Structure 1
Amino acid sequence: MKNTILIVEDEESIRDILSYSLKREGYIVIEASTGEKGIKMVEDNNVDLVILDLMLPGMSGYEVCKKITSKYKISIIMLTAKNDIVDKVLGLELGADDYITKPFDIREVIARVKVCLRRMEELKKFQMEDDKQGNSNNVIVLRNNIKIYEESREVFKEENNVKLKPKEYELLYLLAKNRNMVFSREKLLDKIWGFDFFGDSRTVDVHIQRIRKKLGETAENSIIQTVFGVGYKMQ
């Protein structure tokens, strides 16, 4: 089946070049000029990936990203004219998978789209293998009364549902499945964001901090331990 890509961009010329190039690659492309229309498109279509401009009129791209990731497991690539790392990190915190700074080379956009979609396919295959092996209902029990439900991708602490963004969940899950193994920040970037991700190690630190905060933990008393000079691990 062909993947469906939604472009949410208010500049028609940019939408046109993205749409034309993605269709040439064999993707189904739908478009929206505002955040509100973009959210409606997600609700009405089986969207696999969203290319989302952050500087939209009305509802901002940040708000659109937050609304989509709170309800759907869809890859999001941000488009931004800003080159400030704070803007990029904020988008990643809200659940985006990658970012591209304008002006961009369309070949780079195509490459990143392929990476995001490939990662989603690999994740689906991994979950299907778990189902075949009878692991779909597994519950990972961690200390501090924390449980990870693999089938629903939910996390609970003392029976309270902890709302994690997709990347936060994947980080926690990876560490939980590989307890006592130390992961460098670079390895975590590779595993969670993909080898071709162009971010830096601060992205990992920000996500770890947010996981700890949502679990009601501090760096000194957390199931995720910092291995200074290296990265992170879970006991």
Structure 2
Amino acid sequence: MSSPASSVHTARVLLVEDDDLMRRSFAVALERYGYEVRAAADGLTGLEMFREEDFDLLILDVMLPGLDGIGLCRRVRETSLVPVLMMSARGDGLDVVAGLEAGADDYVVKPVETYVLVARMRSLLRRATYPPAADPDPGGERTAEGNLLEFGDLRIDTAGMEVFVSGRPVALAPTELKLLLEFAAHPGVVLERHTLLRDVWDYGWDGDSRVVDLCVQRLRRKLGRDRIETVRGFGYKLRR
């Protein structure tokens, strides 16, 4: 069996956690998995570090002094699409929803085992580094080059990983882009939430469907509210 560090690509991670013991424990554990970790004990320090350095992934605790994790996530999303993983001590609380609405890609509930945290990190990093190309059915029109999908005024360049609405570029976070590509691969087909959790979020087990619902909401705000249709009791589909 290989060592943890040998199984992942090195990535720079910003960990913002106010509990000293937990912050040190997470940092040491993640470094053993091969990540380069920078840590901050409060939101304002974390924001300053984010602005001064380049990171591949942010891990933000919800409850932080000065500037909480939700506020920090909002500030990050003003300028960056870097993957954000929220940590919450209340898995069924409003802070989870608020964090996802602020632009976080996923969340874990504390206490969390290191292998679970690393699994969620790997999934986010794969989305950010290697977004998949969609392979739609005839419901979406392709150009001769085969890399431009068109659904009305929605255009998706699967080679350049760019999205346009009425010719205007739309910035999507990695998870939002992967979700859109999943819809574009099956236009007009209802995709159930558990299917999206498996294929977009890489959950090998039943996950929290709120991450799907809130990511769909963010896509609708960016692409138009009527673009993705809700099929009550089943899931969502992209209008042809």
TM-score normalised over the length of structure 1: 0.77
Instruction: Could you tell me which runs of 5 or more consecutive residues in structure 1 were left unpaired when the two chains were aligned.
Output: 128-133
Which residue does the alignment assign to 1:223? Answer: 227
Given candidates 42, 55, 64, the residue that maps to 2:72 is: 64
What letter is aligned with 1:69?
R
CA displacement, residues 52-109 of structure 1 (integer Å, 9 cap, x when unaligned): 1111111121121122234333222211222334321221232222222223333432
**Change over 3 Å in CA distance of 1:198–1:114 after alignment to 2:** farther
Listed as ranges, the matches of 1:37-186 within 5 Å are 37-123=45-131, 126=132, 138-143=147-152, 145-150=153-158, 151=160, 153-156=162-165, 158-159=166-167, 162=170, 164-186=172-194
The question of whether the paired residues in 2 share the 8 Å contact of 1:140 and 1:148 is answered with yes
**Change over 3 Å in CA distance of 1:109–1:181 after alignment to 2:** same
* SS in structure 2 of the partner of residue 72 of structure 1: coil
CA distance in 2 between counterparts of 1:191 and 1:53 reads 26
- Which stretch shifts more, 15-24 or 170-179? 170-179
CA distance in 2 between counterparts of 1:117 and 1:29 reads 15
CA distance in 2 between counterparts of 1:216 and 1:96 reads 20
Q: Once the two structures are aligned, what percentage of the paired residues are identical?
A: 35
* SS in structure 2 of the partner of residue 68 of structure 1: helix
Which residue does the alignment assign to 2:215? Answer: 207
Aligned residues: 220
**Change over 3 Å in CA distance of 1:31–1:198 after alignment to 2:** farther
* SS in structure 1 of the partner of residue 84 of structure 2: strand
The question of whether the paired residues in 2 share the 8 Å contact of 1:70 and 1:165 is answered with no
CA distance in 2 between counterparts of 1:67 and 1:6 reads 15
* SS in structure 2 of the partner of residue 51 of structure 1: strand
CA distance in 2 between counterparts of 1:142 and 1:48 reads 32
Q: Does 1:26 align with 2:34?
A: yes
CA displacement, residues 122-169 of structure 1 (integer Å, 9 cap, x when unaligned): 42xx47xxxxxx979x543322x333455263432x455556554334
CA displacement, residues 17-63 of structure 1 (integer Å, 9 cap, x when unaligned): 01111112222111112222222322333312211111111112112
The question of whether the paired residues in 2 share the 8 Å contact of 1:69 and 1:166 is answered with no
CA distance in 2 between counterparts of 1:30 and 1:197 reads 30
Instruction: Could you tell me which runs of 5 or more consecutive residues in structure 2 were left unpaired when the two chains were aligned.
Output: 1-8, 134-143
TM-score normalised over the length of structure 2: 0.76
